[in-house]
Amino acid sequence: MKLLLDKAHIEGIRYYDTWVKNGGYECVAKALKMTPEEIVEEVKKSGLRGRGGAGFPTGLKWSFLAKPEGVPRHLVCNADESEPGTFKDRYLMEFLPHLFIEGMIISSFALGSNVSYIYIRGEYAWIPDILEQAIAEAKANGWLGKNIKGSGFDCEIYVQRGGGAYICGEETALIESLEGKRGNPRIKPPFPAVQGVWMRPTVVNNVETIATVGPIIAMGGEAYGNLGVGNSKGTKLMSACGNLNKPGVYEIDFDLSVEEFIYSDEYCGGIPNGKRMKACIPGGSSVPIVPANLLLKNIKGETRLMNYESLADGGFATGTMLGSGGFIVLDEDQCVVRHTMTLARFYNHESCGQCSPCREGTGWMYKILKNIEYGKGKKEDIDLLWDIQRRIEGNTICPLGDAAAWPVAAAIRHFRDEFEWHIDHPEEAQTRNFGLAHYADPLLIQN
């Protein structure tokens, strides 16, 4: 079922006139006749979980917002989307901007935010113009500004371009950057719901999360909550990339199997050139990599589904996370050591340097992985890597340390023999990539 991408095929849908002809802003009109408390209640009923990676219940997060008398409140949309492998928010903003703006208006009304912000990553250089055009169209037609449609609610939305820092995807670093400061994460508490932007109560939500609010109001929170499996409610956008015949953005139901998502023609269309799948990173670069046999079935032999609970089943020993929905598939010719080294280099570069474990540990992991990849590693380096990532995880102000540690831990946990092969074959490791010619896992899946 498509709730977000159902109109994506319509020519000119990014423009206001076409959007309205196809039912646009009807959900906003409905929301403005409700009370803010009723909207929050509908979002709670829906069971919507944050689509940025953490998966925290959105309605519950909204209910935490402090409401001190006479103090403004703010909604900030996290459009930074700098998780490698993730690009579904870009798709929404570029091709369905009014769906997103509808969600911003309804959410702002529900939270009592008269001034709301969209913080967008610097690399999305062309998208702020699209958003600002959509905001201007909405305002020209009475959906933004003073006394929106006679409701008594005033709202302005501003787009803020970021400088291109991964760390600013963390909500408090984003707030610091939005205020014009260096994007360093804040120590919590106080949480943004109490002291956020300009030290005022603030809710920070992801683009997909905000865009989903409109469909929830249109169909009702209970109807939305009836879609899905367990605590995975509604639908989810996935950014599929890597070794796939049909990479792209897909809207999926949570009862879809991982195998069907990868191999069916409706979705990713399988692995190019008839190759086997070796591994997958299903939720963006920071979540644990899993080998093919554990991706398609859990340790009990049960089919994995594309939802929060099923992918996490078994914990990090056998499972992973849905995360931000950045679904990266690796075929049999890919080198896990090289991929892990690349991710370590990224996280080292993007560390803000505020916490010693992250500042020093990410660089250390990258150097060791580089030595192993280029034939200069030692057997004891594998255990050293494990020890370093263990000392980073959980010991930093923000989750970037965890994001850097988890890929290394999962790679060693599931592909230790591949690391050992690099160390045992130093000359070959320097000159060629690592594929199944050297490492044959009988559980690799051939479809």
In CATH terms, is domain 336-431 a member of 3.40.50.720?
no
The pLDDT assigned to 299 comes to 80
* Calpha distance 137→14 (Å, rounded): 11
Alpha-carbon torsion (269, 309, 174, 288), positive or negative: negative
406 CB-near residues (< 8 Å, 6+ apart): 286, 287, 288, 316, 389, 393
pLDDT by residue for the chain (447 residues), tens digit each?
899 999 999 999 999 999 999 999 999 999 999 999 999 999 999 999 999 888 899 999 999 999 998 999 999 999 999 999 999 999 999 999 999 999 999 999 999 999 999 999 999 999 999 999 999 999 999 999 999 999 999 999 999 999 889 999 999 999 999 999 999 999 999 999 999 999 999 999 999 999 999 999 999 999 999 999 999 999 999 999 999 999 999 999 999 999 999 999 999 999 999 999 999 999 999 999 999 999 998 888 889 999 999 999 988 888 899 999 999 999 999 999 999 999 999 999 999 999 999 999 999 999 999 999 988 999 999 999 999 999 999 999 999 999 999 999 999 999 999 999 999 988 777 665 544 444 434 333 333
The pLDDT assigned to 430 comes to 65
What predicted TM-score, i.e. pTM, was given to this entire model?
A: 0.92
* Calpha distance 397→419 (Å, rounded): 30
Sequence ranges of the domains in the chain: 16-226, 229-331, 336-431
The pLDDT assigned to 440 comes to 38
- Cis check for the bond before 189: say yes or no (omega within 30 of 0): yes
* Calpha distance 165→169 (Å, rounded): 8
Q: What are phi and psi of 158, to 5 degrees?
A: -120, 140
Nearest-CA neighbor of 432 among 389, 383, 375?
Answer: 375
The pLDDT assigned to 446 comes to 37
Question: In 222-376, which ranges are E strands?
Answer: 228-229, 232-233, 235-242, 248-253, 277-281, 290-291, 326-331
In CATH terms, is domain 229-331 a member of 3.20.20.70?
no
* CATH match for 16-226 among 1.10.274.10, 3.40.50.11540, 3.30.70.100, 3.40.50.1400: 3.40.50.11540
Answer whether 229-331 and 336-431 agree in fold. no
Cβ density class 322-333: b for 16+ within 10 Å, e for less: bbbbbbbbbbbe
